[in-house]
Amino acid sequence: MSEWLEKVGLKQVDTVAQMALGTPPQALNGLRQFALVTQAMG
């Protein structure tokens, strides 16, 4: 997804740690979950 975002003009400026309660979700058959969230929520 990051390649597409850069192509449409949204460059990556930072990275964050993945946070999950319990075991983090794992990629399955090449599929990954994405969720857009802001740190201000919590």
Closest by CA to 33, choosing from 22, 41, 20, is 20
**So what's the pLDDT on residue 8?**
93
Our count of domains for the chain comes to: 1
Which domain, by its residues, includes 28?
1-42
Q: What pLDDT score was predicted for residue 7? A: 92
Q: Closest Cα to residue 34, out of 18, 12, 10, 21?
A: 18
The pTM of the whole model exceeds 0.85: no
Tell me the pLDDT of the chain (42 aa) as tens digits. Answer: 788 888 999 888 888 777 788 887 788 888 877 777 777 766
